[in-house]
Structure 1
Amino acid sequence: MLRGQNSLRSDQKSDLTGLTDSKINSRPWYHFSSMSIMHKCLLIMAVCFASLMVVAIVGDGKEHIELPNVTSGFTEDDIRKLLFSSFESNKMAETLRMVTQQPHQAGTEENRVVGQKLAELWRQNGLEKVRLMEYDVLLSYPNWTNPNKVTVLGDDGKVLFQSTGLSPDLTPKNDDSSSSQGDSYRAAIQWLAYSANGTTESEPVYCHYGQPKDFERLEKEFGISSLHGKIAIIRYGLDYRGDKVKHAAARGAGAVIIFSDPAEVAGQGPEADKTFPHSTWLPSHGVQRGSVMAMKGDPLTPLLPARRDFPKERTIQQAKKDHYLPNIPVLPLGYADVIQILERMGGPQVPEDWRGGLNITYRIGPGFKQNGNKNDAKKLRVDVHSTLEIKKIQNLIGIIHGSEEPDSWVMLGNHYDAWVYGALDPNSGTAVLAEVGRAFAQAVKRGWRPKRTLVFCNWDGEEHGLIGSTEFVQEFAQVLQDRAIIYLNVDTIASNQSLIVKTIPSLFSAVVSAAKKVPNPVESERAKGRQTIYDTWKAYYPQKGNFTWLSPDVPDIDLPGGGTDHMSFLNFLGIPVVDFTYRNVSWG
C-alpha cells in the first residue's frame, strides 16, 4: 500500500480526511454572445441526466427505490422533483463565463486561478470538505513568443512558403471582453504537447493515417521501408496522435506533421463561408492541439502518485529512451498550410482510398516535384520550440456525505484545464458538474441526504494526458477499490441533438431508465413524438446488434474507451464508469 492511502493525506492541508470518516463528516463564452436558450436547455438536460444516474445509484442501485433521509423518507420521485426544481441554467452560464476568461493550460497561473475560483464556488454551493490536491508533474509548453513553423525551401534555401504558426482569431469581440492581446496570441499558437524541441530539414513522405498497416503498405507497394530522417505527413483521424508519432519515429522519421484534412473537419467544403464562424466546421488555418505522450499520467512517476514526498522514478531522458516521450519534432497543421506542401510533392499518386478532401493530386513522395524551374521545392523544414517543465497541478474534490453508507462512494468528474479557453472542452462539462453539485447540496439543505457518499471531482492536467485523474487513482488505488461504486464522467457538451453514452453492459438498464425520465427540451423533437431524451437517442442511434442479448429498446451504447478521465478508474481499478455527452447526428 502506498504511504498515506489509509488516511488519504491526513497529514496535509489538501487532504481528503473527511472522506475516510464513517461519520457524517476555445474562447470566453461571451465571445459567442449570450448563451443561447437552446444551449441552456442542453446543459439542463445534461444536469438532469447526470443527477438521475446518481439518484439511481445512491440507494441500492435499483430502479424506483426509496431513498432514505436522515430525518424522513423521500421517494425517488420526490428526489427527482427536488433536484429538477433546483437547476438554474443562468448559474451554469455564470460558471462557464467565470472559467473561460483566459486561456488556462494545465500548470499555468491562469489555470491555478480557475481551480481556486471553482473551489470557492463549490464551497458557496454547499459541498462539504472542498479541497485542492496538488501534484508535481512534467508538463510541456510551446514558446509563447516564438511560434512553431513549417517552411518550404527552394534552391539556395530560398523560402517558397512559411506558415505563421498561428491560427487567426475568428471570434467576434464584445465591448465587455477582458481578454488581453497576449491572451489572443497564446490562444493562436499551434503546438502539440511533449513534442521534442528542435529543427528537422528533409523531404516529406505522405503516410496517410500513420497506422502500422499504412507503413506496411508504403513498404509493400511503394518500396519505402524506412523513413530515414524524412518528415512524415500524417492525417488526423482513426488513431491517437501519439501513436501516429510513435509509429513514424520507429520507422526512422526525423519529424512528423499531423494535419487536419477537410474530408474529416470541413464536411460542407473547405471554403471560408462554409466553416467557422459561419458553421461549426474547422476553418482552413485551424489546428487540433493535443498531446503526443505515449502514456497516461505523469511520465516521470509511472504507477506512483507525483507527490512531493515521492521520488521521480524516471528521468526525462529515460522517458524518451523508452519512447514515452517523442525524440523528434511534431507539429499540427491546418489544411490551408498543408496544401502548400502536398501540392508540391512528387512521387506516385496515393492509392484511391488514401485521398483526402483537398482539390489536389495527393502524392506519396518522398520529396517534391522537379519541373526544372527556380521555384521548385527542394526541402521541407520543421521548427518546433518547446520546453518540458515540472509544474504543479491541482485536483478539486468536494463531497456530500452519505447518511447510511458513507464509505460507499458515487463519483462524478470532469476536468477544467484546457488547450485554450475551453468554452466547450471541457468547461461546458465543468458548468454541468458544478450545477449538479449545487442541486444535491440544496436538496440536503431541504432535509434529504443521499444514502451513499457523493464525491465530486474536477481534474487538472487532463489535456496533457489524463494526468490529474491518473495520479489520483494511483495515490488512492486501494481506497477506491474498497469504496468507489461508480464513476460518472462528463467532459464536453457540444451539441443539442442526442445523448451519447459509453458504459459497461451491467449499467445499460440504469442509463436507459435515467434517460427515459428526462423531458426533451427540443421543440422539433417533441413535435415528432419524442417526449424524452431517450426517445431522441433511440431514434437517431438504434441498437447495432453488438449485444444480442439486449432488449431492442436499448439504444446504441458503446463500451468505454480512452481519451478522458474515466479511463484510469475502469482500466486500472475495474471501477464501473459512465461517460456521456451530446452530439449531432450529422457528425457521423
Structure 2
Amino acid sequence: MYFTGWYIKSSNEAANIVPQNGLKKAFLDELKAENIKKFLYNFTRIPHLAGTEQNFVLAKQIQSQWKEFGLDSVELAHYDVLLSYPNKTHPNYISIIDEDGNEIFNTSLFEPPPPGYENISDVVPPFSAFSPQGMPEVKSFYFCGFLEYFNYSSHIDFRYCIYLLIFWLFIVIARYGKVFRGNKVKNAQLAGAKAVILYSDPADYFAPGVQSYPDGWNLPGGGVQRGNILNLNGAGDPLTPGYPANEYAYRHDITEAVGLPNIPVHPIGYYDAQRLLE
C-alpha cells in the first residue's frame, strides 16, 4: 500500500516545489550578519543568569518579539528547578601556596571587562554550577605531582594513569572540549581526583590570524567558560529527573539529587592556566 500511494501521487508535485524553493531563498536572504550581530548583542549586553530578574526580562522580550514575527501564541511556562549560584561576596579562586602557607599566586576573581562594560553590575564571577564547596589541598605527591594535566579529561585520557595506580590524591587540570564538562568531572571523580580545574585552551579557542574579543571573536586569555557540571544524561532537573519540574511534580530531597558532583570544580582562563602549568 505504501508503494501504491507513493507512485500515484498527484502530478502537481513539481508545481508545489517551486514556491518551497522560493521560501527557502527568502529565508536565506534574511540571514544577515548585521541582524545576527544585533540580536546577539541584545541577548548578551547584560548578565542574565537563570532564575534572575534579568533573565525573566529577556524571556518576556523574546516572547514579544516572537509575537511580532507573527506567531499566534507564545506562552511563558513556569518551572521550579534546582539552580546553582556563585558566592559574589567570597568568589572562588585557586591559589599556589608556598612552604610557609603564603599565597604566592591567585587566579582571577573576575574577568577583565571589555570596553563599554566597566559599569555593568551583577557580572557573574567564574564558577562551575553545582560544584560542591571545598578547599582541596595536596602537599605531597607520588610520581606525577600534585597538579595533573589530563588533556580533555575523557575516559581514554585517564586510562593510562589509572592502570599505573598513580592517580590518587591529585587535583586534575583539564581543558574544555571533546567531552561535556559534566563527564569530565565524573571521569576525574571516578578516578579518585580531589578536585578539577577547567580551562579553555588557545589551541581550541583561538583561531590563528584572528584577534581576541573585543577586536575579534577569539576568546581572550582572561575569558572563562561557565556552565553546569551535572551528569544527568539528559534527565533534566536533578530533583525531578526524567519529569517536568512543574509545581505538582514529586521532588527528591537535595541529599538524593541526581547527577551532582562530589568534588569541587572551578573554571579559569588560559592566562591563569599557563601560570599553574608552568
Q: TM-score range by the shorter chain?
A: 0.7 to 0.9
2:175 aligns with 235
Structure 2: which 5+ residue stretches go unaligned? 1-9, 139-145
2:68 aligns with 124
1:330 aligns with 2:265: yes
Structure 1: which 5+ residue stretches go unaligned? 1-59, 68-73, 344-588
> Which among 315, 322, 327 is matched to residue 253 of structure 2?
315
Q: Which has the higher strand share?
A: 1
* Contact map agreement 1:255 1:328 (CA 8 A) in 2: yes
1:276 aligns with 2:213: yes
Alignment of 1:440-459 (within 5 A): none
1:503-524 per-position Cα deviation (integer Å, ceiling 9, x unaligned): xxxxxxxxxxxxxxxxxxxxxx
> Which among 149, 173, 188 is matched to residue 248 of structure 1?
188
1:19-38 per-position Cα deviation (integer Å, ceiling 9, x unaligned): xxxxxxxxxxxxxxxxxxxx
2:242 aligns with 303
Per chain length, whose mean CA-contact separation is higher, i.e. which structure has more relative contact order (CA < 8 Å, sep 6+)? 1
State the Cα distance separating 1:105 from its structure 2 match: 1.8
Structure 2: distance between partners of 1:159 and 1:266: 30
Structure 2: distance between partners of 1:277 and 1:80: 34
* Contact map agreement 1:267 1:281 (CA 8 A) in 2: yes
Amino acid paired to 1:238? K
Amino acid paired to 2:201? D
Alignment of 1:149-298 (within 5 A): 149-170=93-114, 172-173=115-116, 180-183=119-122, 186-187=123-124, 189-202=125-138, 203-220=146-163, 223-228=164-169, 230-268=170-208, 274-295=211-232, 296=234, 297-298=236-237
* Contact map agreement 1:293 1:325 (CA 8 A) in 2: yes
Q: Which secondary structure state, in structure 2, belongs to the residue aligned with residue 132 of structure 1? A: coil
Amino acid paired to 2:148? V
State the Cα distance separating 1:247 from its structure 2 match: 1.0
Alignment of 1:522-541 (within 5 A): none
1:143–1:75: structure 2 CA closer, same or farther, 3 Å change rule? same
Per the normalisation by structure 1, the TM-score is: 0.40
Quote the RMSD (CA, aligned, Å). Answer: 3.1
Structure 1: distance between partners of 2:160 and 2:71: 56
1:57-107 per-position Cα deviation (integer Å, ceiling 9, x unaligned): xxx9x975628xxxxxx94356557x5599496776665454334111221
Alignment of 1:483-562 (within 5 A): none
Aligned residues: 258
Q: Which secondary structure state, in structure 2, belongs to the residue aligned with residue 331 of structure 1? A: strand
Amino acid paired to 1:325? L
* Contact map agreement 1:207 1:218 (CA 8 A) in 2: no
1:232–1:65: structure 2 CA closer, same or farther, 3 Å change rule? farther
Alignment of 1:358-373 (within 5 A): none
1:92–1:64: structure 2 CA closer, same or farther, 3 Å change rule? farther
Structure 2: distance between partners of 1:240 and 1:232: 16
1:96–1:232: structure 2 CA closer, same or farther, 3 Å change rule? closer
Q: Which secondary structure state, in structure 1, belongs to the residue aligned with residue 82 of structure 2? A: strand
1:105 aligns with 49
Q: Which secondary structure state, in structure 2, belongs to the residue aligned with residue 110 of structure 1? A: helix
1:247-276 per-position Cα deviation (integer Å, ceiling 9, x unaligned): 11112211110122222223439xxx9533
